[in-house]
Structure 1
């Protein structure tokens, strides 16, 4: 049975970064870097015209910034999955990207070794929440009053909070299961249960709430 070729569109205005990413794609099987844009407006135009499977969008691009471009693409072409790709950002930008429709948030520091796996997961509908090193040390924003969901997260059992802490660091279900010495199915079921109890629609939103609740890996 032939494997489906996944088509990817890259958006980044740094020539050296684009060159490095293109070389990473050369070593991936069944994944094609079909097109590249260097500005936000070009990214919107190309994504709508080509309808790639996955768009990797740098947050800081010219003409139209990355978050606005994500919103435009996901609104007009909801079948296209967009993941933010960033080397440096703030927690607020990460949240804005999620609200704009980004399904995942990838750090440029972490994609070199597992880019192919990440793209396949994103295409399957999974979310990856991978914070760059400087954001992992970024102080969690405080709010005048915690939301109801954040209050519930703070009251979760120790095991559930450990799962969420690993989730905020971008760990996969398999990695979380190995660290906690439980099955991958158990982790998946527990995350699904937590999302249902909090009425959140995905791993990214759940991870954002967990960070707001102060639940992160030490």
Structure 2
């Protein structure tokens, strides 16, 4: 059975950076850079028209900013996976992007050697977030010390706390499943269940709460 060729749309308004990223696609097997735009509004139109498998979206594009463009694409074409691509890893923007529907948040400096693998993982539904090296100095969103969410996390079974700890370390569902000797489907279902209990939208918010509750460290 022939392997599916993944179609990618790139959005970046810096010509030299865009040219460098385009060259990374040369030689990638079963991954095609189908189209390129340089502004947020053009990216939205292109994504809705072509329905690519993955969109790589710079955070600071013109006309419509990257986060708003992600929100528009995610709402109108939910089958399209959108990954933010940034030269400056900012925890606040990362959280905003995830809430807007971004599947991942990639640093331009970390994709040069593994862009193909990252795109395949994102298409499979994995979440990849390039965390700032000095994240401990970033102001994490304030959470009341005795909030019901924190109390609930502290009362989770040991296996669920282990999943949260591994998730906060940036491990994929597959890696967590291997460490806990369970199926990847089990890990995915359990993370979804925990998110529903805590009423959070994604892995970044879940990781923040886990750190606040003291069951995980960054």
Query: Shorter-chain TM-score: what band?
Result: 0.7 to 0.9
Question: What does residue range 95-110 of structure 1 map to in structure 2 within 5 Å?
Answer: 95-110=95-110
Equivalent residue, structure 2, for 1:133: 133
Spell out the pairing of 1:47-196 with structure 2 (5 A cutoff).
Answer: 47-135=47-135, 137-144=137-144, 148-156=148-156, 160-176=160-176, 180=179, 182-183=180-181, 185=182, 189-190=186-187, 192-196=189-193
Normalized against structure 2, the TM-score is what? 0.81
Change (3 A) 1:59 1:190: same
Gaps of 5+ in 1: none
The range that moved more, 97-106 or 158-167, is 158-167
Question: How far apart are residue 52 of structure 1 and its match?
Answer: 0.9
Partner of 2:3: 3
Once the two structures are superposed, residues 127-170 of structure 1 have per-residue CA deviations (whole angstroms, 9 ceiling, x without a partner) of: 22332334465242223466533432244456544432332343
**Structure 2 runs not aligned, ≥5 long:** none
Deviation at 1:103, TM superposition (A): 1.9
Which of 195, 207, 212 in structure 1 is aligned with 2:209?
A: 212
8 A Cα contact 2:95 2:204, kept in partner: no
3-state SS in 2 of match to 1:133: coil
Aligned residues: 214
Cα root mean square deviation, aligned: 2.9
Moved more, 14-23 or 164-173: 164-173
Work out the CA distance in 2 between the residues paired with 1:216 and 1:85. 27
For 2:217 and 2:31, the matched residues in 1 are separated by 32
- CA separation of 1:30/1:206 partners in 2, compared to 1, >3 Å: closer, same or farther? same
Q: Which segment is superposed worse, 74-83 or 132-141?
A: 132-141
Q: Given the superposition, is the C-alpha separation of residues 69 and 177 from structure 1 closer, same or farther in structure 2, using an over 3 Å criterion?
A: same
Give the direction of change, closer, same or farther, for the CA distance of 1:46–1:17 in structure 2 (3 Å limit).
same
Q: Deviations over 1:36-90 (max 9, x none)?
A: 1111111112112222111011111111100111111122222211111223243
Comparing 37-46 with 192-201, which one deviates more in the overlay?
192-201
